[in-house]
Amino acid sequence: VQATAAAMPFNATKAAEHGAAQGLEPAIGQLVTPPSRLATGSTLSESQAGAKVGTQAPEGRNATIAPLDRVRVDSSGQPLTTNQGVRIADNQNSLKAGTRGPVLLEDFVLRDKITHFDHERIPERIVHARGSAAHGYFESYEALDELTMAAPFKAAGKRTPVFVRFSTVAGERGSKDTARDVRGFAVKFYTDEGNWDLVGNNIPVFFIQDAMKFPDLVHAVKPEPHHQMPQAASAHDTFWDFVSLMPESTHMLMWVMSDRAIPRSYATMQGFGVHSYRMVNAQGESVFVKFHWNPKFGTHSLTWDEAVKISGADPDYHRRDLWERIESGAFPEYELGVQVFTEEEAARFSFDILDATKIVPEELVPVRPIGRMVLDRNPDNFFAETEQVAFCTANIIPGLDFSNDPLLAGRIHSYVDTQISRLGGPNFHEIPINSPIAPVHNNQRDGMHRQAIHRGRVAYEPNSLAGGCPFQAGAAEQGFTSVAARLRAREDQAKVRAKPELFAEHYNQARLFYESQTPAEQAHIAAAFRFELSKVTVPAVRERMVASLRNASQELATRVAAGLNMPLPEPMPLAIARVPKPEVKRSLALSLMARPGDGSVAGRKVVLLAADGVLGEPLMAVHQALFEQGAVPRIAAPRIGPVQTADGVDLQADVSLENEPGFLFDGLVLPDGEAGVDMLGRDGHAFEFVRDQYRHCKPILALGAGEGLLRAAGVSASLPSGAADPGIVIDKDADSGVEAFISALARHRHFERETDPPRV
């Protein structure tokens, strides 16, 4: 589209200068006016909300859409310009003295372009560098007045916009998604009383108890400094050297060696606030809370062999899954729950609630559901939103407060500090994705990249020249007030570098976790320890780790030692003289199997194998049934494009056997039709599909002649026990198996077939 020069608006925030009614802005979504804004003052975050160019953001109920409209740029119908808005006539050739002559220094068009390019990268996050994010909303189930005055919980049905970033911890920005690692689960609530960040993980405990040890932990797990290996992996000497010397990490190690550290999807993992926080009501009364996010689609994970293979075929596996789920409308959804307990109750627990290596078992304090979060919009731009978003545990709002957890205290300092260098100065709160919906008014001024243009001559308080504004808010105006928590004992009032006694108990909850798992999950934990420690080259480190594990579980330690071909070492001496008796010995809530989800197959990917000569009709019937249930069926053939079916049904292969290997899918369908099955039987890729699906304990549906592929691949339809494998559905007449297959798919994995080593 060629538009005339005079009519072209060129500055997104200066529509007034160019006349808002010129009709040149591309079509936009409905402007959603954020509550309680626009009517007041003129901070950057709220200015110009009505003046926007070029947004094509979908119409939505998310109130962050409007503030971001202010900076959205859509270049459709626009000429190419320099950063000064000068139109560029030639974007192909630099300015030269003659066609074969030298390039001229005056070529500002070239220099503008190259200079900006040279500075495109910013430092990656020191941890959690690899991540993916989405917009959505939080909806409160009820008014929580008796517990908290926090804005999101003020009324039943109240919606607060959120931006959520999921991440791995150890890997660099471009590393694989399916590393064995903790997953970050960071939620920014844009509340009408300021931003609240709940910066959690998918595991409810942490490796260490005191922030003083965080740099050591991170140095130990990151690639080793001399040769910068291995990438995104804890299976190396320095990590295990460190954790084996820090028995407080044993509980966390159990979680990290469990399938929780290889989730199937961000939509199928839990999230936790980890620390004890406080909720405070309008009367100033406070209770302790632990935050839990429970996924609607259930908790599902990968198997280790599968995770390793996926990292080669699709390093963006979780990023793609999140993006595709949102684009297709299978929105990730999580229920927020809180465990609520008083200071007096906490004092009676056998563990210290300030110790981030401990959970509060759900049998001791149940989880109360208080709302749900839906992620329904992908970001417009990865860098502007996902990369530049800055979460911080210090970002809390009236109605919430911290506990004295020493790990949390260090975090309250660390996030802003690291972001000042990562985002280039102290004004990163003005970057659109970080700026609150609530108005910002204070006397902070200037600094690198300041965007707000503050008016007037007063930048101090108290003042009379500006009528005392901006003024301190009293309780009636929701001014933030810290809970006047009492220090309990006299000795707590002295300055010390020391820990409470219960912090020295390191194994009760590690044992609780292991003993609460199903046999399959326990086997995976033992196999993960075996794998990781087998990569450790120093025998003394392996021994020390197994010596520590003996205190958590004799059975686990024995399995791991056997797996490493080593004698069982003496148990590591305990750090505590009298071990407190735990209240709970088994907690079913700790098993992934406890949360199968809503029973649906929404978002599950299923591959239907095809080749020339298959029967198209039964395959398409399965395709249709899966599609109707919200699953994502894909037809895979030796080559993409049309497949010549035996019954003349029109069939198009979406993917080829080589470009989307079988382990990328949650289920496999083998086709009917002798000629087609014959052709697949001559392609080694097809056997890999069958064997990987089988080894990874996923469901397989064999239609008619397709059963032959199972046999040819060496896969048995019966379990090691001799019983029929419920995950393998053989539909001889190719007309009745789809229902059984869909319920096998909803179960996700069929671990009863699993053996170590694998049969196939």
**Between β-strands 159-168 and 131-140, what pairing exists: parallel, antiparallel or unpaired?**
antiparallel
Of 138, 190, 206, 665, the residue at the interface with ligand HDD (CB under 6 A) is 206
Residue from the set 291, 391, 507, 694 that interacts with ligand HDD by CB under 6 A: 391
Establish if 7 lies at the interface with ligand HDD (CB under 6 A): no
Number of residues lying near ligand HDD (CB under 6 A): 26
Q: How far is the CB of 497 from ligand HDD (least distance, A)?
A: 16
Stretch 273-292 residues interacting with ligand HDD (CB under 6 A):
274
Report if residue 167 touches ligand HDD, rule: CB under 6 A.
yes
Quickly list H helices, 362-430.
406-422
Q: How far is the CB of 500 from ligand HDD (least distance, A)?
A: 18
Is 201 labeled as catalytic in the residue annotation? Answer: yes
Minimum distance of ligand HDD from residue 685's CB (angstroms): 37
Among 356, 527, 602, 702, binds ligand HDD (CB under 6 A): 356
Return phi, psi of residue 752, to 5°. Answer: -65, -20
Q: What residues between 516 and 555 interact with ligand HDD by CB under 6 A?
A: none
Q: What is the dihedral of CA 452, 453, 459, 462, to 10 degrees?
A: -70
Q: How far is the CB of 269 from ligand HDD (least distance, A)?
A: 13
Residue 128 annotated in active site: yes
Cα separation, 16 vs 7, in Å, equals: 13
Q: Which residue in the set 127, 149, 261, 606 belongs to the binding site for ligand HDD (CB under 6 A)?
A: 127
595 φ/ψ angles, rounded to the nearest 5 degrees? -125, 75
Residue from 184, 337, 371, 603 binding ligand HDD (CB under 6 A): 184
Q: Which is nearer to ligand HDD, 124 or 683 (CB)?
A: 124
Distance CA 168, CA 414 (A): 18
Q: Which of 115, 166, 128, 124 is nearest to 423 (CA)?
A: 124
Site string for ligand HDD, 299-338 (x = CB under 6 A): ----------------------------------------
Angle between helices 539-552 and 519-534 (to 10 degrees): 160
Say if residues 142 and 372 touch (Cβ distance below 8 Å): no
Query: Min. distance of Cβ 395 from ligand HDD in angstroms?
Result: 12
Supply the minimum distance, in Å, between the C-beta of residue 233 and ligand HDD. Answer: 19
Contact 588, 362 (CB under 8 A): no
> What's the closest the beta carbon of residue 388 comes to ligand HDD, in angstroms?
10
Among 49, 162, 186, 686, binds ligand HDD (CB under 6 A): 186
User: What's the rounded Cα separation, in Å, for the pair 102 and 301?
Assistant: 59
Q: Determine how many CB atoms are found less than 10 A away from the CB of residue 250.
A: 25
Q: Which stretch binds ligand HDD (CB under 6 A): 17-25, 151-159, 410-418, 709-717?
A: 410-418
214 touches ligand HDD (CB under 6 A)? yes
Residue with tokens 């990781």: 532
Q: What is the DSSP letter of 449?
A: T
- DSSP of 614-648: --HHHHHHHHHHHHHTT-EEEEEESSSEEEE-TT-
If the CB atoms of residues 211 and 340 are measured against ligand HDD, the closer one turns out to be: 211
Token pair in block for residue 498 = 């020391």
CB of 199 to ligand HDD, least distance (A): 5
Question: Among residues 135 and 165, whose Cβ is nearest to ligand HDD?
Answer: 165
* Contacting ligand HDD within 601-620 (CB under 6 A): none
Q: What angle do CA 247, 252, 256 make, to 5 degrees?
A: 125
Looking at the Cβ atoms of 37 and 319, the one nearer to ligand HDD is 319
Q: Is 211 in the site for ligand HDD (CB under 6 A)?
A: yes
The full DSSP string for 349-365 is SSS-TT-TT----TTTS
Q: How far apart are CA 472 and CA 462, in angstroms?
A: 10
| Cβ-proximal residues to 86 (8 Å cutoff; 6+ apart), any chain | none
Restricting to residues 413-432, which ones interact with ligand HDD according to CB under 6 A? 414-415, 418-419
Say if CB 25 and CB 54 are below 8 A apart.
Answer: yes
From the candidates 62, 135, 195, 201, give the one annotated as an active-site residue.
201
Asked whether position 130 contacts ligand HDD by CB under 6 A, the answer is no
Whether the Cβ atoms of residue 163 and residue 154 lie closer than 8 Å to each other: no
Question: Based on CB atoms, which residue is closest to ligand HDD, 108 or 214?
Answer: 214
How far are the Cα atoms of 284, 399, 482, 670 from residue 475, in angstroms, in the given order?
A: 10, 11, 12, 67
Tokens 């020391």, located at residue = 498
Catalytic residue positions, numbered = 128, 201
The residues that touch ligand HDD, with contacts defined as CB under 6 A, are 125-128, 131, 165, 167, 184, 186, 199-201, 206, 211, 214, 274, 356, 390-391, 407, 410-411, 414-415, 418-419
